[in-house]
C-alpha cells in the first residue's frame, strides 16, 4: 500500500529539483565574450585592463590618459579630467590602476570620482605608494589622473 501523494510532497520534490538545477548551472563553465575589435590608444595612453561589475560580469575596458595634475581640490580635479577628455576613475578602477599601472603614478594620493556615501563634503582617494583608499575633505588638494572607458564589445 503506497502513501498518498500530497501537495506538500510535490512541492518538496520540486524544491529539491530546483536546487539540483541551480547547482548544475553553477558548475557549468562560463564563457567570456571579449571584443574582437582592437583597442586604439592615443599617444601616451595606457591600457589598464578590464573592469568587472558587481556581479562579476565584464563591465568595460579602462584606459589611463596621459598627464596628471597636482594640488587640486576634488571639484577642480573633476573639471581637469573632463578637459582631458575623460573622467576621474572610480575606486574599483583605481584598484585596477594600482594593480596594473602603478608605475605610471607618483607615490602620492590621487582623487577618485566618488563622493563619500554619507558625507557629501568628502570624497575617496587612493594612495599609490601602498594602495590604501580613504576619504578626504573635497577642498584638500591632491593629485589627479583621468581615464576613459570603453564598453566591452565595441
What average pLDDT does range 30-55 have in this prediction? 83
Tell me which of 7 and 68 has the higher pLDDT. 68
pLDDT of residue 152: 87
Extents of the domains making up the chain: 46-151
H/E stretch holding 133: strand 133-137
What is the C-alpha separation between 127 and 140, in angstroms, rounded? 14
What is the C-alpha separation between 148 and 137, in angstroms, rounded? 25
pLDDT band of 59, cuts 50, 70, 90 = very high
Query: For residue 136, what are the β-bridge partners?
Result: 123
> Using an 8 Å Cβ cutoff, are 65 and 145 in contact?
yes
> Using an 8 Å Cβ cutoff, are 109 and 86 in contact?
no
pLDDT band of 48, cuts 50, 70, 90 = very high
What is the C-alpha separation between 52 and 58, in angstroms, rounded? 5
> Using an 8 Å Cβ cutoff, are 147 and 89 in contact?
yes
pTM assigned to the model:
0.78
pLDDT band of 67, cuts 50, 70, 90 = very high
**One CATH from 3.10.100.10, 3.90.550.10, 3.40.50.300, 3.40.640.10 for 46-151:** 3.10.100.10
Each residue of 69-114: pLDDT tens digit? 999 999 999 999 999 999 999 999 999 999 999 999 999 999 999 9
> Using an 8 Å Cβ cutoff, are 147 and 85 in contact?
no
E-assigned strands of 18-98?
46-52, 58-64, 69-72
Residue length of the chain: 154
What is the C-alpha separation between 88 and 13, in angstroms, rounded? 52
Mean pLDDT for all residues in the chain: 91
Amino acid at each position: 500500500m503506497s502513501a498518498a501523494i500530497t501537495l506538500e510532497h510535490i512541492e518538496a520534490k520540486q524544491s529539491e529539483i530546483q536546487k539540483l538545477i541551480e547547482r548544475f548551472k553553477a558548475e557549468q563553465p562560463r564563457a567570456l565574450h571579449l571584443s574582437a575589435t582592437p583597442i586604439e590608444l592615443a599617444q601616451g595612453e595606457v591600457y589598464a585592463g578590464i573592469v568587472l561589475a558587481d556581479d562579476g560580469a565584464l563591465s568595460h575596458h579602462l584606459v589611463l590618459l596621459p598627464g596628471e595634475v597636482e594640488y587640486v581640490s576634488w571639484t577642480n580635479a573633476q573639471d581637469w579630467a573632463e578637459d582631458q577628455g575623460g573622467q576621474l576613475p572610480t575606486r574599483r578602477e583605481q584598484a585596477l590602476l594600482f594593480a596594473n599601472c602603478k608605475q605610471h603614478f607618483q607615490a602620492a594620493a590621487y582623487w577618485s570620482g566618488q563622493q563619500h556615501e554619507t558625507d557629501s563634503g568628502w570624497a575617496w582617494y587612493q594612495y599609490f605608494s601602498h594602495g590604501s583608499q580613504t576619504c578626504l575633505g573635497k577642498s584638500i588638494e591632491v593629485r589627479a589622473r583621468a581615464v576613459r572607458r570603453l564598453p566591452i564589445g565595441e
